[in-house]
Amino acid sequence: MTEREFSKSVYEATSMIPRGKVATYGAIAKAIGRPKAARAVGQALGANPQPIVVPCHRVVRSDGTVGGYSGMGGVRTKARLLDKEGVSIKAGSIDLGRFLFSEFE
C-alpha cells in the first residue's frame, strides 16, 4: 500500500464517523487493516486536505483525551467542534463508553 493509498483509506474510514461520535486513531488503523499503524493514521489526518469533508476532529486518543489537531486554532478548535456536535469533554477527556463509534464497514 502506497502512502497515498494509505491516506485515502484513512480519510474514507474517518468520513464514516457520524456527528456526535468519535473514534480512536487505533480504531481507524484497525478498520483499514493496519492495526499497528495508529501513529501513521495521526500523521495522515494531520495532512488532511479536506478538514470539513473528512472530519478528522472526530478522531481522539485511545485514553479518551482529545489528541492533536493541525487545523487553525489547534486543539481548542477541535474541542469546540466536538462540543458543537454534542461530544462533551470533561477534565480533558471524552467518555468513550458514551461517544465511541466503532461500526466501520
Long-range contacts of 4-9 (CB under 8 A, 24+ apart): 6/32, 6/34, 6/37, 6/40, 6/44, 7/44, 7/47
Q: Which one from 27, 40, 41, 56 is the annotated catalytic residue?
A: 56
The answer to whether residue 56 is catalytic is: yes
Q: What residues are labeled active site?
A: 56
